[in-house]
A and B are shown apart, each in its own frame.
Chain A
Amino acid sequence: MNPTPVPPLSAADIPEVTANISSPAQRLQSLLADFLDKTQATFSLVIDRGGSILCQQGNLPESTDATILAALAAGSFAATKELAARLGETEFNTLHHQGKNANILVSTVDDDAVLMTVFGPETTVGLVKFYAVGTVHCLATLLKEARTSPDSQIAISKQDFNAIGNIFHQ
């Protein structure tokens, strides 16, 4: 049975969703958790368009590597964008892959990121699309904030680097 639809999120919803949470990372996690809860989707992944994972939420089978999903989804979305360009479109905002038991919806977040959602037969593509619209809007706002957040710092010194020998070994 499908869950009862609730209006999609807007940017104004972010404070409510994240009332007691401070860092952009935690707020992103909270937003994705809320999205999964409302859609009953299995897993969601925010991906840099170059293929790197920015954050993720939900559960995948143990044998499934999210890193590989991210690389393939980014590649697939990039290829589709080229298809769109040849048809006079800037890009296709969403990409849906339908399987027997698993589906993937990839949605544009902003110029640099996409949202990938994996879902099964317990929900519908319509419901996932419906909530994805508001979620990507909120994600874009949070990602913009995260870029300039003091949390987005990592302090590594030359001394740390000098202590590193060969990184990879046979």
Chain B
Amino acid sequence: MSIINYVNKEVQFKIVYYGAALCGKTTNLAYIHGHITDTNKGELVSLATAADRTLFFDFLPLNALVIKGFRTRFQLYTVPGQVIYNATRQLVLRSVDGVVFVTDSHWDKMQENVESFHNLYDNLVLQGMDMDRIPYVLQYNKRDVPRLAPVHYLEYILNNRPVRVPSYQAVATTGQGVFATLNAISRLLLRKFIRETEETAAAGQVRAPAPAATALSGIAAGTRR
């Protein structure tokens, strides 16, 4: 759920970059941190192993536009991609608002991509969410590698749900497609937030308290999906 901090007048959105090991999740955040305008940028925090593999998560807070006096903040997280860290991925997904699913475009990585996508689906279900209702986009990363899977094949194996989602080709090391992906998921989240605030206003009532398992938190009135 998005979180509104009425003391600081902020709306906060949590975006998780998800995907198989070494698909480029951290590289996305590093590129954003290195190239975004200073007014937007927060500090990039990485909880990584000595070998620079993500152990818990990477975290990058971004300030964005002000709407009706409320500053929007987007909090970007990555999950550890390695299979053994599934419990950690579940923790990072808590209260997630939107997902960027990062895919390694190398032919040899197709099985890992699909397994990771199914893992995302399962972990969202565990948290009372599902992929039909959570905004997400696909990023086909590493479009510069040899033995490249064609985009139509990636679409076939990953973007074949009843409602197709936006997908972007990317080379995160050079920044190609990185900001397009970030802007796409951010706009999806804002659009969903606006739709729900309009629905609430039309109903003429405040949002109902959420069930305990996925409840809105604190001073916040979160959007429900």
Interface: A170 (CB within 8 A): yes
> What 1/0 flags go to B70-84 for Cβ under 8 Å of A?
101111010000000
Question: Are B179 and A153 in contact, with the CB atoms below 8 A?
Answer: no
Contacts A72-B45, A147-B221; is A55 near B7 (CB within 8 Å)? Answer: yes
Contacts of A146 in B (CB 8 A): 6, 218-221
Question: Are A161 and B206 in contact, with the CB atoms below 8 A?
Answer: no
Segment among A9-17, A74-82, A120-128 that sits at the interface with chain B: A74-82
> What 1/0 flags go to B184-219 for Cβ under 8 Å of A?
001100110110011011000011111011011111
Contacts of A62 in B (CB 8 A): none
Segment among A34-42, A46-54, A99-107 that sits at the interface with chain B: A46-54
Interface: B101 (CB within 8 A): no
The A-B contact count (CB < 8 A) is 196
Q: Which of these, B10, B45, B198, contacts A68 with CB under 8 Å?
A: B45
Number of B positions contacting A (CB below 8 A)? 69
Number of A positions contacting B (CB below 8 A)? 52
Q: Which residue of A lies closest to B191 (CB)?
A: A161
Contacts of A147 in B (CB 8 A): 207, 209-210, 215-216, 218, 220-221
Q: Which residue of A lies closest to B39 (CB)?
A: A169
Q: Which residue of B lies closest to A63 (CB)?
A: B43
> What 1/0 flags go to B165-191 for Cβ under 8 Å of A?
000000000010001001100110011
Question: Are A170 and B7 in contact, with the CB atoms below 8 A?
Answer: no
Min CB gap B30→A, angstroms: 14
Question: Are B75 and A51 in contact, with the CB atoms below 8 A?
Answer: yes
Contacts of B35 in A (CB 8 A): 170
Contacts A25-B7, A48-B95, A52-B3; is A67 near B215 (CB within 8 Å)? Answer: no
Min CB gap A129→B, angstroms: 21
A161 CA to B189 CA, complexed, in Å:
11
Question: Are B186 and A111 in contact, with the CB atoms below 8 A?
Answer: no
A81 CA to B143 CA, complexed, in Å:
40
Contact sample, A vs B, 9 pairs, CB 8 Å cutoff = A52-B75, A54-B219, A72-B45, A111-B215, A147-B209, A148-B207, A149-B206, A155-B201, A161-B190
Q: Which residues of A contact B (CB under 8 A)?
A: 23-25, 28-29, 46, 48-56, 65, 67-68, 71-72, 74-75, 78-79, 82, 109, 111-113, 143-144, 146-158, 160-161, 164, 166-170
Please list the 9 inter-chain residue pairs (A to B) with the smallest Cβ-Cβ separation, ordered nearest first: A50-B95, A152-B221, A54-B218, A48-B217, A112-B217, A52-B3, A25-B6, A78-B91, A52-B12
